[in-house]
Amino acid sequence: MRPYEAMVILDASLEESAVQAVVNRTSELLSASGGEVTRADKWGKRRLAYEIDHRTEGYYLLLELTLDPDAVAEIDRSLRLTEGVVRHKIVRMPERAAKPAGRRAAEPAMSGPE
């Protein structure tokens, strides 16, 4: 199991229930393949950097996933076929970024020549 991050841009005209349906569908597909959604951040409607299919706004959704590398292609295919998904990108997160942030011990301040 490896950590992945998926940025999904949905059609801005979708209602909240349709957005939740995309999250639920992705979660179900992940659980069927042995993975899970560890975090789902809904960024809301934002202006696109450039027009995509004559759209200027999109609903941004950031998902953090843990899944088997073999299942990435199936998730990618599912998002590509899901109605309402304008664009998506799945990237593998570095192992150190996927671990929960802990407090680091205070490092001694470096002093310059006096």
Q: Is 96 exposed, middle or buried (0-12, 13-18, 19+ CB in 10 A)?
A: exposed
Residue range of the domain that includes 70: 2-96
Residue 101 resides in a domain: no
Q: What CATH number did the domain enclosing 84 receive?
A: 3.30.70.60
Strand locations in 25-84 (E)? 36-52, 55-67
User: Is 77 domain-assigned?
Assistant: yes
Instruction: Give domain status of residue 108, yes or no.
Output: no
Q: Output the 3-class SS for 75-110.
A: HHHHHHHCCCEEEEEEEECCHHHHCCCCCCCCCCCC
Total structural domains within the chain: 1
Question: pLDDT tens digits for 46-102?
Answer: 999 999 999 999 999 998 999 999 889 988 998 899 888 999 999 999 877 556 655
Q: Average pLDDT over the chain, rounded to whole?
A: 84
